[in-house]
DNA sequence: CCACGGATTAACT
DNA sequence: GTTAATCCGTGGC
């Protein structure tokens, strides 16, 4: 296995990184159980001049503090009082760029994921949405700031080659409040994959 | 201290 | 396709 190194995360172009993360693998070993799969959907959020980003233009609060850390750590937070969302911080310190993981194709630890999701059989409902991925992988707000080059949550490059024409770029989900920035084509998906989220 | 709203989801019709 | 659940945590005061 090839764990993605710190240098993968500290590069400056978060949109490029979000695109490259398609086809990479996300794993967690939480409570000693390995779970994970191939990333099939991401979104990029840029600290500078992106109104959809929690940390836009230096908006530094207790919640967003970790976004200003150097790339390679986890930004987790609670949405709608119910769901945990998992982001990867990128770029050098103080840039506050992040990639939201929206969907994976499960490959490891499927029985454990079924338990966590309270499902009977594997299918797209297992991990096809940002709140579902975290539930299946056991990621919660407790993992805020987790180092992604460690052995709790990490990413691997398994040399899966997803050609450019298999990747769809489109506007991000749920960020209508961001005005013109809502139109940026910063959501990436694997074309034809049944494992992506169903959001428009 | 406390009013407010959200990088969503599932269960409806 | 439409809508309610669901509430904690955030952040402004």
- Residue spans of the domains in chain A: they are 6-190
Angstrom distance, A62 CA to C10 C1': 9
Q: Does any strand C atom come closer than 7 Å to the Cβ of A62?
A: yes
What positions of strand C are covered by protein, i.e. any atom < 7 Å from a CB? Answer: 5-12
What's the average model confidence in pLDDT over A67-75? Answer: 96
pLDDT value at A1 more than 80: no
Residue A32: per-residue pLDDT: 93
Q: Quote the percentage of chain A above a pLDDT of 70.
A: 100
Taking CA atoms, A148 is separated from A3, A34, A71, A84, A154, in Å, by: 9, 15, 9, 17, 5
pLDDT score recorded for residue A176: 84
Q: Using 50, 70 and 90 to split pLDDT, how confident is the model at A64?
A: very high
Tell how strand A74-79 and strand A83-90 pair up. antiparallel
Q: A79 falls in which pLDDT band (50, 70, 90)?
A: very high
Neighbours of A160 (CB within 10 A): 11
Query: Over 90: is that where the pLDDT of A179 sits?
Result: no
- Distances from the Cα of A9 to the Cαs of A12, A91, A99, in angstroms? 8, 6, 10
A21 in Cβ contact with A187 (< 8 Å):
no
For residue A60, the 8-state DSSP code is -
Strands (E), chain A: 25-30, 33-45, 74-79, 83-90, 97-108, 153-156, 167-170, 187-190
Give me the residue label for tokens 């233009």: A57
Q: What is the mean pLDDT of residues A102-120?
A: 94
Residue A49 has pLDDT above 90, yes or no: no
Whole-number pLDDT of residue A199: 85
Q: Does any strand C atom come closer than 7 Å to the Cβ of A192? A: no
A77 has a pLDDT exceeding 90: yes
Q: How far is CA A169 from the centre of its chain?
A: 16
Quote the tokens at residue A178.
Answer: 């961001």
A84 pLDDT higher than 90: yes
pLDDT of A132 reads 95
pLDDT band (50, 70, 90) for residue A154: very high
CATH homologous superfamily of domain A6-190?
A: Methylpurine-DNA glycosylase (MPG) (3.10.300.10)
The Å distance, CA of A177 to C1' of C1, is 22
pLDDT above 80 (res A139): yes
- Tally the C-alpha atoms within 13 A of residue A163's C-alpha that lie toward its C-beta: 2
Give the separation between CA A188 and CA A116, rounded to whole angstroms: 26
């Amino acid at each position: 296995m090839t764990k993605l190194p710190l240098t993968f995360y500290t590069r400056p172009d978060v949109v490029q990184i979000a695109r490259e993360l398609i086809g990479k693998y996300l794993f967690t070993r939480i409570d000693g159980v390995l779970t994970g799969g191939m990333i099939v959907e991401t979104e990029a959020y840029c600290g500078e001049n992106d109104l959809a980003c929690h940390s836009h233009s230096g908006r530094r609060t207790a919640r967003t503090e970790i976004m200003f850390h150097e790339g390679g750590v986890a930004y987790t937070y609670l949405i709608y009082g119910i769901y945990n969302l998992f982001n990867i911080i990128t770029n050098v310190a103080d840039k506050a760029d992040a990639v939201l993981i929206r969907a994976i194709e499960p490959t490891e630890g499927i029985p454990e994921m079924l338990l966590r999701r309270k499902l009977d059989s594997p299918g797209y409902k297992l991990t096809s949405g940002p709140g579902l991925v975290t539930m299946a992988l056991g990621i919660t707000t407790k993992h805020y700031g987790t180092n992604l080059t460690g052995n709790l949550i990490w990413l691997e490059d398994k040399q899966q080659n997803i050609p450019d024409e298999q990747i769809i770029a489109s506007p991000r989900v749920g960020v209508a409040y961001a005005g013109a920035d809502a139109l940026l084509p910063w959501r990436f998906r694997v074309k034809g994959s049944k494992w992506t989220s169903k959001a428009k």
